[in-house]
Amino acid sequence: MPFPELMIFGNSLTRWMIALLTVATVLGSVALWRWIVSHRVRPMAMLTDTFLDDVAVVLAEATSSVIVVLLAIFAGTLVLKLPDAARQPLGSAAVILFLVQVGLWGRALIERWTRRYQERNIATNAAGAGTARLMAVLAQMLLYSLVVLLILDNLPGIEVTALVASLGIGGVAVALATQNILADLFASLSIALDKPFVLGDFIVVGDEMGTVEEIGLKTTRVRSLSGEQLIFSNADLLGSRIRNFARLQERRVLFTFVVRQDTAPEALRALPEAVRQIIEGQEQVRFDRAHLRAFSDSGLVFEVVYFVLTPDFNRAMDIQHAINLGLLEHLAATGVRLALPAQLVYSGDTAPLSAHLAEATGGDSANPEVGRSNGA
């Protein structure tokens, strides 16, 4: 007679051995896969420029050992004879564990893709880098919501359809209570998609100005010229007129200078050409025009317009500085004098008057303009 097979908890020893072998096979397979990825795929992934080989590395690193062990044990129970009352909870638990692992994989892939995109585009595409960070946050929120709903769907006694409907009604109430926060959230999404400014841009909003340091889900932080950090609500920021100087292609400069009314016509006729030569002598500058624009109480007003072919403000000021010095040198060389605000007051003895007139008019005491009160 054959010996009766040993039974343990309603299963033969053979079944238990097969179950243990199944558990060992699953654990061994996962361990081998992670070793291959760590020692073979990772070195190759560091040398390539594609994201596909990074996927295997990210999945291996984000795999939870605890979840793997529990799922391996569940796989072993599949060959055992278990009562129906135990089989269903075990199946639900396994599905929930797998969904949790899927959430871990999804979060790791999103973070890896975002970090990789930012590293490669932050220098050349700051707008895209900021958009990627925001989209990563929204993708993670969507992933977590989906995983939670699927987990609830696998829990006994929970009707997901009714739960989603109740959440929709509650969501309306929450939206009304948090409409300011939601307005800022959608404004941040609009900033990410429309890109009115990106990180590093110099912007002016009303009376405030500074460099954009961070674009968050609710606020945007700007570092002002005086050093303090300005914090703008995203909704308020988009509702304002924003001047983005980082998008400046070239800078238009208009300035005026006033010469005396007794300047010789020949000297006046030569001044625009002299100004043009002074401006064109500077680098990164395009001359536009120079004209005798108007007559004023203070003198003859010349208006000059040129373009600085760089958005750099410091460079623009260096150019204006050089042009001003060149203009002063030319006026000094040609004897043309700038009109300065002056006022002569007649009081009592007028004996010193001729000396004052000679000094003010360069020797022409009969200048009829002397004695007027001149404005700047």
Res 56 pLDDT > 80: yes
Mean pLDDT lowest among 90-99, 174-183, 261-270: 174-183
Query: Residue 152's pLDDT is what?
Result: 83
The residue ranges of every structural domain in the chain are 7-180, 195-246, 251-334
d(CA 237, CA 206): 10
Q: For residue 3, how many other CB atoms are within 10 A of its CB? A: 5
Amino acid in the structure at residue 42: R
d(CA 100, CA 62): 11
Res 60 pLDDT > 50: yes
Which pLDDT band, with edges at 50, 70 and 90, does 370 fall under?
very low
Phi, psi of 280 (to 5 degrees): -70, -15
Which of 250-254, 348-352, 355-359 is most confident? Answer: 250-254
**Better-predicted residue by pLDDT, 145 or 293:** 293
Position of tokens 């303009």? 369
Q: Select from 147, 361, 177, 375 the least CA-distant residue to 262.
A: 361
Query: Residue 291's pLDDT is what?
Result: 94
Q: Which long-range contacts (CB under 8 A, 24 or more apart) does 324-333 make?
A: 326/278, 326/281, 327/257, 327/275, 327/278, 330/274, 330/278, 331/259
Mean pLDDT lowest among 55-59, 126-130, 283-287: 126-130
Query: Residue 162's pLDDT is what?
Result: 61
Res 127 pLDDT > 70: no
Res 123 pLDDT > 50: yes
pLDDT in tens, 199-227: 888 899 988 889 998 887 788 899 998 88
Which pLDDT band, with edges at 50, 70 and 90, does 80 fall under?
confident
Copy the structure tokens of residue 200. 């590093």
- Strand 299-308 relative to strand 285-296, pairing: antiparallel
Structural domain 251-334, CATH architecture: 2-Layer Sandwich (3.30)
Res 367 pLDDT > 50: no
Query: Residue 372's pLDDT is what?
Result: 40
Q: What percent of the chain has pLDDT over 90?
A: 29
What pTM was estimated for this model as a whole? 0.49
What would the CATH number be for the domain defined by 195-246?
A: 2.30.30.60
Amino acid in the structure at residue 131: T
Query: Residue 333's pLDDT is what?
Result: 92
d(CA 135, CA 239): 22
pLDDT in tens, 271-328: 999 999 999 999 999 999 999 999 988 899 999 999 999 888 888 999 999 999 999 9
Copy the structure tokens of residue 22. 């199944």
Q: Select from 281, 287, 326 the least CA-distant residue to 308.
A: 287
- DSSP calls for 275-296: HHHHHHTSTTEEEEEEEEEEEE
pLDDT (average), residues 83-97: 82
Strands in the chain per DSSP E: 7-8, 11-12, 202-205, 208-215, 219-224, 229-233, 242-244, 251-259, 285-296, 299-308
d(CA 224, CA 234): 17
d(CA 227, CA 222): 10
Which pLDDT band, with edges at 50, 70 and 90, does 124 fall under?
low
The burial class, CB within 10 Å (0-12 / 13-18 / 19+), for 276 is middle
Give the single-character DSSP code of 203: E
Phi, psi of 112 (to 5 degrees): -65, -45
d(CA 132, CA 252): 35
pLDDT in tens, 146-191: 888 888 877 776 666 665 665 565 555 555 545 566 677 777 778 7
Which pLDDT band, with edges at 50, 70 and 90, does 15 fall under?
confident
Beta bridge partners of residue 304, listed in sequence order: 255, 290
3 state DSSP class of 230: strand
Q: What is the CA radius of gyration of the chain?
A: 40
Amino acid in the structure at residue 119: E
3 state DSSP class of 34: helix
Query: Residue 46's pLDDT is what?
Result: 74
Whether 220 and 237 have beta carbons less than 8 Å apart is answered as: yes
pLDDT (average), residues 50-55: 74
3 state DSSP class of 116: helix
Which of 86-90, 144-148, 371-375 is most confident? Answer: 144-148
Average pLDDT, the chain: 80
**Better-predicted residue by pLDDT, 135 or 72:** 72
d(CA 142, CA 264): 78
Res 18 pLDDT > 60: yes
- Strand 11-12 relative to strand 7-8, pairing: antiparallel
Amino acid in the structure at residue 30: V
Query: Residue 276's pLDDT is what?
Result: 95
Position of tokens 């000059």? 304
Whether 102 and 149 have beta carbons less than 8 Å apart is answered as: no
